[in-house]
């Protein structure tokens, strides 16, 4: 019970820090503008002539590549740069509670930004009779993709006090998760790599798991993938912070 209170305290503190500066509002505005641009302009929403949000969710793994590392790069890098991380470790709270609290605060913030895209849902309902289940699972998949990217950004932020380095490292790692299962990449690997290696690389990809949820299918294997990556990245964050603390 005490652990839950500690996590909640950290989450509340971090979430408040997001909205105490204009950065959070700028982030939300940029996210909403880019979501609209990719959906209606690039995704040809109206030309598809179908009542679905496929053109909306299609771009999220790519859109999050830049936005999520930007939101997560400050989580630990800022604490290290300002020297407040030592003070944080002296408080009556464990490292993992702090990690989980910070992660949840940033994930809730991203979830709020995603929730503000509800006009998309209203639009597609107005234009036709969409599959509500597919819309729900699409949002769930988008939220989980953001969580995976954020956990990786959390890890890279713990590695360095430089936020730019954290951002670039997280972007590269998240890009790997996207490209690993991208058809042009797997087709290229097939030409010179054994099938087992191609399958192993593709297994790390976030795209097949996201595509499955977009179609309205909730598979336990997809959920296991998302939460496994999140837990692994947060566990690695803890290892990095403990090693820094010991040194």
pLDDT tens sequence for the chain (247 residues):
778 888 888 898 888 888 887 888 888 999 999 988 888 877 777 777 777 788 888 889 999 999 999 888 888 777 776 666 666 667 777 888 889 999 999 999 999 999 999 988 888 888 878 888 889 999 999 999 999 999 999 999 888 888 888 899 999 999 988 888 777 777 777 777 777 777 777 778 888 889 889 888 888 889 999 999 999 999 999 898 888 665 5
Tell me what pLDDT residue 60 has: 92
Going from N- to C-terminal start, the domains of the chain cover 2-246
Helix %, strand %, coil % of the chain (to 5): 80, 0, 20
pTM of the model: 0.90
Tell me what pLDDT residue 141 has: 94
Nearest one of 179, 177, 146 to 27, comparing CA atoms: 146
Tell me what pLDDT residue 246 has: 54
Do 80 and 161 touch, CB atoms closer than 8 A?
A: yes
Residues 6+ apart with CB under 8 A from 237: 76, 99, 151, 154, 155, 158
Cα dist. 204→90, 115, 177, 182 in Å?
37, 27, 6, 11
d(C-alpha 16, C-alpha 18), whole Å: 5
CA 215 to chain centre: 20
Residues 6+ apart with CB under 8 A from 18: 24, 105, 106, 109
Tell me what pLDDT residue 83 has: 63
Tell me what pLDDT residue 13 has: 85
């Amino acid at each position: 019970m005490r652990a839950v209170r500690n996590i909640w305290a950290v989450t509340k503190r971090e979430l408040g820090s997001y909205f105490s500066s204009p950065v959070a509002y700028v982030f939300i505005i940029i996210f909403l503008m880019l979501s609209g641009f990719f959906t209606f302009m690039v995704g040809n929403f109206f030309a598809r002539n179908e009542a679905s949000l496929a053109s909306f969710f299609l771009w999220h793994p790519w859109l999050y590549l830049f936005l999520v590392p930007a939101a997560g790069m400050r989580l630990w890098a800022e604490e290290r740069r300002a020297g407040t991380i030592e003070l944080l470790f002296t408080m009556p709270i464990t490292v993992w509670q702090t990690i989980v609290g910070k992660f949840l605060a940033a994930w809730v913030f991203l979830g709020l930004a995603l929730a503000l895209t509800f006009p998309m849902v209203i639009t597609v309902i107005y234009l036709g009779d969409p599959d509500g289940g597919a819309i729900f699972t699409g949002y769930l998949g988008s939220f989980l993709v953001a969580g995976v990217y954020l956990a990786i950004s959390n890890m890279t932020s713990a590695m360095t006090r430089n936020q730019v380095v954290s951002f670039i490292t997280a972007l590269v790692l998240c890009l790997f998760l996207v490209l690993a299962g991208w058809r042009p990449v797997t087709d290229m690997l097939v030409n010179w790599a054994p099938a087992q290696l191609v399958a192993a690389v593709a297994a790390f990809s976030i795209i097949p798991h996201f595509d499955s949820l977009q179609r309205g299918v909730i598979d336990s294997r997809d959920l296991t993938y998302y939460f496994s990556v999140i837990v692994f990245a947060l566990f690695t964050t803890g290892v990095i912070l403990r090693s820094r603390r010991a040194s």
